[in-house]
């Protein structure tokens, strides 16, 4: 089968700092690097390197050719990526010495893409293909509705969190992936408990506390986070989601897929960067085989 990703493509400007700035504080960066990013690109690379056949649907600006070349080199099919007027999306990422980060995003081409072109590309999807989505593009609800109508399994990362965006997409989602903070925000907004979320399957990532799988009519699954020397947490959630999609698409049972994704994330946070730090399938399997 195929995993499709309708998502953002960014250029990341990453600054290493002694600590994250307080309001009004000016800091000198200790390091700087420029790299590929965006939740869509990150999840696509994570999935492709974890063994998935990945087709990316998104957009870049007139400056996007080097980014597309990089994605293709990492195993991502970019035939469905549009080129639009204006700048490619970009992010300013601040990373402190403990690996924690703060991020500012300019959407750019991610919000300027044409819906019709996305829907035309999706017509090549087969029943049972997975579609990964996030909250960094335009047209999320329309694309999710179209994908469900085509018999695809829609996996939605509700980040950056926006309750109105989530509520618009949720009727067309099979699996909702959130971190613990987002899950609490969603519970507060809907006035429901975690197990009452209106979705078939809910996956909650909890950082150092692992991740949980909740699905209707089946026992809950919790997998621990594997020990890692944390260098940079940027893209860790995307790594988990992309690897999870690759494992599920390959036919893994939920608990095995969750353990695979947890191992992938533990490898990713031990390296600097987001897309550039995504681990290969062989590395993930080796760590799973060691039991962490």
Q: What is the pLDDT of residues 67-117, one digit of tens each?
A: 999 999 999 999 999 999 999 999 898 989 988 888 888 999 999 999 999
Count: domains in the chain: 1
Give the tens place of pLDDT for each residue, 256-286: 999 999 999 999 999 988 888 999 999 999 9
DSSP 194: G
Query: What sections of 162-253 are H helices per DSSP?
Result: 163-169, 180-190, 236-249
How many C-beta atoms surround the C-beta of residue 149 within 10 A?
10
Q: Is residue 18 part of a domain?
A: no
Instruction: Report pLDDT for 291.
Output: 65
Tokens of 175: 């699996």
Is residue 244 classed as helix, strand or coil in its secondary structure? Answer: helix
Residue 156 lies in a domain: yes
Report which of 265, 260, 264, 245 is spatially closest to residue 53, judged by C-alpha positions.
245
- Phi-psi category of 122—alpha, beta or left, where left has phi over 0 and alpha has psi -120 to 50? alpha
- Per-residue pLDDT reduced to its tens digit, 188-223: 988 888 888 899 999 999 988 999 999 988 999 999
Report the alpha-carbon distance of residue 60 to residue 37 in Å, rounded. 12
CATH code, 236: 3.40.1190.20
Has residue 88 been placed in a domain?
A: no
Residue ranges making up the domain that contains 50: 3-8+38-78+114-289
Edge to edge, the sheet with strand 89-95 lists 31-37, 10-16, 89-95, 101-106
Backbone angles phi, psi at 228, to 5 degrees: -150, 145
Cβ neighbours around 166 below 10 Å, total: 23
Residue 163 lies in a domain: yes
Q: Which two tokens stand for residue 136?
A: 């960094």
pLDDT at 119 over 70: yes
pLDDT-based confidence at 227, cuts 50/70/90? confident
Q: Is residue 48 part of a domain?
A: yes
* Cβ contact 50:247 at 8 Å: yes
């Amino acid at each position: 089968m195929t995993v499709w990703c309708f998502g953002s493509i960014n250029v990341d400007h990453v600054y290493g700092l002694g600590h994250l700035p307080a309001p009004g504080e000016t800091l000198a960066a200790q390091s700087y690097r420029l790299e590929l990013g965006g939740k869509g690109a990150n999840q696509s690379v994570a999935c492709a390197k974890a063994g998935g056949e990945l087709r990316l649907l998104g957009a870049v600006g007139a400056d996007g050719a080097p980014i597309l070349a990089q994605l293709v080199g990492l195993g991502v099919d970019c035939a469905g990526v549009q080129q639009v007027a204006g700048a490619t999306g970009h992010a300013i990422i601040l990373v402190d010495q403990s690996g924690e980060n703060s991020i500012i995003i300019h959407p750019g081409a991610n919000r300027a893409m044409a819906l019709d072109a996305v829907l035309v590309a999706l017509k090549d999807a087969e029943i049972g293909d997975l579609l990964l989505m996030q909250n960094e593009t335009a047209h999320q609800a329309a694309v999710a509705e179209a994908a469900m109508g085509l018999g695809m399994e829609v996996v939605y990362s509700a980040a950056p969190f926006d309750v109105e965006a989530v509520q618009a997409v949720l009727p067309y989602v099979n699996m909702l992936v959130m971190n613990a903070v987002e899950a609490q925000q969603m519970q507060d907004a809907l006035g429901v408990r975690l197990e009452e979320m209106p979705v078939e399957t809910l996956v909650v990532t909890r950082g150092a506390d692992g991740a949980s799988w909740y699905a209707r009519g089946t026992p809950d699954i919790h997998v621990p986070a594997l020990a890692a020397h944390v260098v940079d947490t940027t893209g860790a959630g995307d790594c988990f989601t992309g690897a999870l999609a690759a494992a599920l698409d390959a036919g893994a049972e939920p608990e095995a897929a969750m353990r695979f994704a947890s191992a992938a994330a533990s490898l990713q946070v031990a390296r600097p960067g987001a897309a550039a730090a995504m681990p290969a399938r062989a590395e993930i399997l080796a760590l799973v085989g060691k039991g962490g």
